[in-house]
């Protein structure tokens, strides 16, 4: 087991730079999720840690040792691929033991390790089967088994759940969580699914366009997003964004709503400000604070709660209400944000407005 | 799907039967002729039922060849043909699978250039380069040797191309997983690529064995002594004079013998052959 340190890691293909300098310190035993939209460089970053891609600049260290020029097999890591990458002609047992056989480990020990991993993953009855005789979830488990038997310093997961159907995905998510609790091996998990990120991560790294937008515990990232991008990406349905202009000590939104700026933000506030509020933080109007009135366009009833869609000025707005309150499309509702749940962003830079230090 | 109508069934069967007769009848005549005496063959019309000379004719050609024309025993020729066909098939597969592996999995300078060079040679059949090739072979003292018989035919752009196309369908992640598992390139080739190519190799073996067995022009040039004749050349050499003066019964027996090994290879490897052409295990 080991921690992993990335310092100023960059990746370019010819002239095109896709990862613009990433600095992250990953502690031993931590479960890190790298999350971002497709093309944000998250898989490239993972593949650089794995050693499958050259590092253009910067340094990657595993267990305190610089590994920039170390072959993947010597980095003491194991990777689980999106399409599993099982060897189709080998049995489950051979798939899991292949890496150990190459290392020349004695047969007895290989058998022990494979059987232990098979027990953890409930693969015991399938060891003689070929990958094509397995279901998607079983293949996924074999791929994880292949990583576990190596007893590596770190696991790397490259979108391992995206080839599974929705139900299986939830189940495998729980299994990965359980596995990590048992093994306590440093893990880096790449996904574009923010639910996976929220549920699995000890800490998550939110990436966008080759840049790390924010690193933190899932709940901190949710509560305290650093930028418009993070605020919109983490949380489902996404945060509502209402663009407005600064008007003295308040922000004037399209549609006539005035949202007072908190005192500590006034000093550094720019002219164009976007106000953000999460659907679940919009509640019935209480008469205090700014009110958001809008006409209901559609209602999505999800059972436990309903999502009310409408327009506030030019922007779409969504509110999460109790599943039994059934607002009629066409009616007009008034909402207020829960105290302290309004976020202010600089519209130009996309950065969150912070009190001047 | 076509509708199920009786007269359509009838038509289909009629066409198929015509096809079978067209293909099989000459073979049947050859077989019948190989069981007759010389005198029976030259009678007009030739009998269409097998005669009683089967064992005599076949043992004659296997031991001593024909009585007129070339007198080399056909058993030697069959052996020569077998050596040539197997060497060509195995050699072609070995060389092309390795070069395809290099082209697909290694990044080296001028990789595309070399691929296209190989590809371009597809367009040059052996007949086009036969004179320079003969000159080279003779300068290297390869006339009348197995090496001379097989080496110039071993390089194969077609097989290289086929293997390349197949390798491109193997997911990159497999190579990466093997790299993470610590397998070097040759280990990856032996443990992953080769087993996955099994069916392709089998299909190519069948095709190339027949290709090698049926070689005519090149063996005709490169072999001088009777002991190096292949069976295809042997048949030609047995026909030395005008129509009537040849041992047609013995020539037909030789033809039947020449036919057997390729047919056997196809029949025995049919399962693999079809698998290799239609499916890939992934």
**pLDDT (mean) for A166-195:** 91
Q: Quick one: pLDDT band at residue B274, thresholds 50, 70, 90?
A: confident
Mean pLDDT across A152-160: 92
A39/A249 Cα distance (integer angstroms): 39
> What is the β-pairing status of strands A272-277 and A343-346?
antiparallel
pLDDT band at B2 (very low <50, low <70, confident <90, very high): low
Q: What's the confidence (pLDDT) of residue A11?
A: 92
**Which residues of B, range 185-214, sit inside 8 Å of A by Cβ?**
187, 191-192, 195-196, 198
- With beta carbons less than 8 A apart as the criterion, state whether A59 and A7 touch: yes
Q: List pLDDT tens digits, range B143-176.
A: 889 999 898 888 888 889 889 999 999 999 999 9
What is this model's ipTM? Answer: 0.81
Residue A353 reports pLDDT greater than 50: yes
At A260 the pLDDT is 87
The pLDDT value given to residue B282: 43
Chain A: nearest CA to B280, how far in angstroms?
11
Q: Please name which of A54, B33, B157 lies closest in space to residue A45, comparing C-alpha atoms.
A: A54
Does position A64 have pLDDT exceeding 80, yes or no?
yes
Backbone angles phi, psi at A317, to 5 degrees: -135, 145
Domains, chain B, ordered by start: 74-237+254-280 (1.10.3720.10)
Residue A215 has pLDDT above 80, yes or no: yes
More confident residue, B66 or B80: B80
Cα gap A190→A171, rounded to integer Å: 18
Chain A residues whose CB is inside 8 A of the B183 CB are 73, 98, 102
- Which chain A residues have a beta carbon less than 8 Å from that of B281? 88-89, 132
Check whether B91 has a pLDDT greater than 90: yes
A175-196 mean pLDDT: 91
Inter-chain contact B176–A85, Cβ cutoff 8 Å? yes
Which of B182, B187, B196 is the closest to A88 by Cβ?
Answer: B196
Q: Is B174 near chain A, with CB under 8 Å? A: yes
Q: How confident is the model at residue A208 (pLDDT cuts 50, 70, 90)?
A: very high
Contact A79/B182, CB-based, under 8 Å?
no
Quote the tokens at residue B127.
């007949």
Distance CA A69, CA B65 (A): 68
Closest of A181, A120, A108 to residue A147, by C-alpha? A120
Q: What are the pLDDT digits (tens) for A4-62? A: 999 999 999 988 889 998 999 999 999 999 999 988 999 999 999 999 999 999 999 99
Minimal-distance CA residue of chain A relative to B196: A89
pLDDT of residue B191: 93
Query: What is the pTM assigned to this prediction?
Result: 0.80
Q: Which chain A residue's Cα is nearest to B280?
A: A88
**Any chain A CB within 8 A of the CB of B107?**
no
Task: Say yes or no to pLDDT of A336 above 60.
Answer: yes
Q: How far apart are CA A26 and CA A20, in angstroms?
A: 19
The predicted model gives A270-289 an average pLDDT of 87
Residue B243 per-residue DSSP state? G
Size of interface A-B (CB pairs under 8 A): 60
pLDDT of residue B233: 87
If you average pLDDT over residues A227-254, what whole number do you get? 90
Q: Evaluate if residue B276 carries a pLDDT over 70.
A: no
């Amino acid at each position: 087991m080991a921690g992993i340190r990335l310092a100023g890691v960059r990746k370019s293909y010819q002239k095109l730079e896709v990862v613009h300098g990433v600095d992250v310190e990953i502690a031993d035993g931590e479960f890190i999720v790298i999350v971002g939209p497709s093309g944000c460089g998250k898989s490239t970053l993972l593949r650089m840690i794995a050693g499958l891609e050259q590092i253009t600049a910067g340094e990657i260290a595993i267990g305190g040792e610089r590994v920039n020029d170390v072959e993947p097999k010597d980095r003491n890591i194991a990777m689980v691929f999106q399409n599993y990458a099982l060897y189709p002609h080998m049995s489950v047992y051979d798939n899991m033991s292949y890496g150990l056989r190459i290392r020349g480990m004695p047969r007895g020990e290989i058998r022990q390790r494979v059987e232990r991993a098979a027990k953890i993953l409930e693969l015991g009855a399938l060891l003689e089967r070929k990958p094509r005789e397995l279901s998607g979830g079983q293949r996924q488990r074999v791929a994880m088994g292949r990583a576990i038997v190596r007893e590596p310093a770190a696991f790397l997961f490259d979108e391992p759940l995206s080839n599974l159907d929705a139900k299986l995905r939830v189940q495998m998510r729980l299994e990965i969580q359980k596995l990590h609790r048992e093994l306590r091996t440093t893990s880096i998990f790449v996904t574009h699914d923010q639910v996976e990120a929220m549920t699995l991560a000890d800490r998550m790294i939110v990436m966008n366009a080759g840049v790390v937008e924010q690193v933190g515990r899932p709940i901190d990232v949710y509560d305290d997003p650093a930028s418009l991008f993070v605020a919109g990406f983490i949380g489902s349905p996404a945060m509502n964004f209402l663009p407005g202009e600064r008007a003295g000590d308040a922000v004037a939104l399209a549609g006539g709503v005035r949202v007072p700026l908190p005192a500590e933000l006034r000093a550094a506030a720019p002219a164009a400000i976007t106000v953000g509020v999460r659907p679940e933080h919009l509640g019935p109007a209480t008469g205090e604070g700014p009110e958001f009135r809008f006409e209901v366009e559609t209602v999505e009833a999800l059972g436990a709660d309903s999502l009310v869609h409408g327009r506030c000025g030019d922007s779409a707005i969504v509110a999460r209400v109790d599943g039994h309150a059934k607002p009629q499309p066409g009616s007009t509702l008034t909402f207020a944000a829960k105290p302290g749940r309004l976020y202010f962003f600089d519209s130009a830079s996309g950065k969150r407005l912070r009190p001047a230090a | 799907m076509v509708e199920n109508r009786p007269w359509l069934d009838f038509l289909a069967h009629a066409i198929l039967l015509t096809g079978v007769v067209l293909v099989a009848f000459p073979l049947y005549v050859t077989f019948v002729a190989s069981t007759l005496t010389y005198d029976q063959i030259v009678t007009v019309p030739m009998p269409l039922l097998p005669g009683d000379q089967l064992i005599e004719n076949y043992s004659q050609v296997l031991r001593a060849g024909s009585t007129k024309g070339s007198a080399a025993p056909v058993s030697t020729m069959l052996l020569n043909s077998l050596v040539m066909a197997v060497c060509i098939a195995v050699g072609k597969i070995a060389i092309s699978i390795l070069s395809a592996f290099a082209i697909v999995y290694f990044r080296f300078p001028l990789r595309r250039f070399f691929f296209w060079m190989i590809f371009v040679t597809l367009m040059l059949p052996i007949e086009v380069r036969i004179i320079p090739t003969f000159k080279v072979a003779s300068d290297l003292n390869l006339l009348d040797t197995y090496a001379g018989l097989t080496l110039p035919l071993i390089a194969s752009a077609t097989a290289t191309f086929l293997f390349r196309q197949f390798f491109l369908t193997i997911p990159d992640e497999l190579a990466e997983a093997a790299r993470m598992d610590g397998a070097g390139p040759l280990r990856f080739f032996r443990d992953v690529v080769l087993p996955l190519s099994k069916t392709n190799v089998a299909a190519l073996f069948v095709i190339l064995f027949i290709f090698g067995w049926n070689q005519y022009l090149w063996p005709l040039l490169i072999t001088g002594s009777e002991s190096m004749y292949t069976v295809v050349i042997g048949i030609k050499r047995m026909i030395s004079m005008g129509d009537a003066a040849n041992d047609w019964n013995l020539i037909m027996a030789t033809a039947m013998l020449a036919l057997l090994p390729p047919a056997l290879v196809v029949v025995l490897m049919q399962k693999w052959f079809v698998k290799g052409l239609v499916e890939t295990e992934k």
